[in-house]
Amino acid sequence: MPAKSRRNLLLVAGALLAAAVAVPVASATPETAGQPGIVGGQPAAVAQYPFAVFLTDENGSQFCGAVLIGENSVATAAHCAKAVTKTNLRVVAGRQDKRVKDGTVSTVSDIWVNPDYTDPGTGNDIALLTTSTRLRYDTAQVTQTARYYAENTMATVLGWGRLKDNGERSDVLRSVDVPMISDASCKTAYGNYDPSTMVCAGYANGGKDACQGDSGGPLVVGKVLIGIVSWGVGCAQPGKPGVYTRVSAFADELEKRSNRGLF
């Protein structure tokens, strides 16, 4: 397993361990309130991004993002779906601020993990959760075309993750806009980049990115889902863009497995 993938798993494990020993998740303090977050972004409204949801363990501790693509269907990263048991997994929808009880919490009745997945660094990092409760919020639309991956197309990444590499976690949903990066540039950044199931986004000079805890969350153009936060080296570093699961590669599979139109 590549070192960075091991690191991803360790970070998820670390977050869960922190939750287990009841270390409180960072709350908004005068130093963090109003500062740029995801990394380099700003607070976002769930009313604007109703498909942005998060995953918690049985104690309610957020450890990943996810995205609603059908009433009972939630796409996320495979490494997120595998981080806790199905029994302990919860999906939280309609909740902008982790500290309040707004929205809907659902258990998960079924988990499909892409059978080709082994670790984030080799790609295929996608899973689909079926929720026990209907989540009545507007869904994101899974992209059926590759056109959104053109270099410099602007996309928005959403999450409740860290405000900087190894920094504090956000209490509220945040968004940041990042440009799509060509396969050639991403291959230069990462030797293990695989354009068949991954895609990169970010600025050459860094500064804006997803970070730990944002994994599994959406990269969208409007309400079209084009990526799932998967991995990267650090957060927002120059020359180290964020790597996302290339959703178009799994569109047919997601459509087939999501319950849209079945109810």
Residues with catalytic roles: 79, 125, 215
- Regarding 209 and contact with ligand 4AZ (CB under 6 A), the answer is yes
| Structure tokens, 65 | 């993002």
Which residue among 108, 235, 247, 254 contacts ligand 4AZ (CB under 6 A)?
235
C-alpha dist (Å) from residue 2 to 5, 8, 121, 200: 5, 10, 7, 18
> Which of the ranges 17-25, 66-74, 100-108, 227-235 carries the binding residues for ligand 4AZ, by CB under 6 A?
227-235
Strand partners, 52: 67
Closest contact distance (angstroms) between CB of 231 and ligand 4AZ is 5
Closest contact distance (angstroms) between CB of 255 and ligand 4AZ is 26
Q: What is the 3-state secondary structure (H, E, C) of the chain?
A: CCHHHHHHHHHHHHHHHHHHCCCCCCCCCCCCCCCCCCECCEECCCCCCCCEEEEECCCCCEEEEEEEEECCEEEECHHHHCCCCHHHCEEEECCCECCCCCCEEEEEEEEEECCCCCCHHHCCCCEEEEECCCCCCCCCEECCCCHHHCCCCEEEEEECCECCCCCCECCECEEEEEEECCHHHHHHHCCCCCCCCEEEECCCCCCCECCCCCCCCEEEECCEEEEEEEECCCCCCCCCCEEEEEHHHHHHHHHHHCCCCCC
- Regarding 125 and contact with ligand 4AZ (CB under 6 A), the answer is no
- Regarding 148 and contact with ligand 4AZ (CB under 6 A), the answer is no
- Regarding 139 and contact with ligand 4AZ (CB under 6 A), the answer is no
> Which of the ranges 14-22, 100-108, 187-195, 206-214 carries the binding residues for ligand 4AZ, by CB under 6 A?
206-214
Closest contact distance (angstroms) between CB of 182 and ligand 4AZ is 18
Closest contact distance (angstroms) between CB of 234 and ligand 4AZ is 6
Closest contact distance (angstroms) between CB of 132 and ligand 4AZ is 26
Which residue among 84, 89, 232, 245 contacts ligand 4AZ (CB under 6 A)?
232
Which residue among 41, 65, 70, 242 contacts ligand 4AZ (CB under 6 A)?
242
- Regarding 211 and contact with ligand 4AZ (CB under 6 A), the answer is yes
Residues that bind ligand 4AZ (CB under 6 A): 8, 11, 209-212, 214-215, 229, 231-232, 235, 242
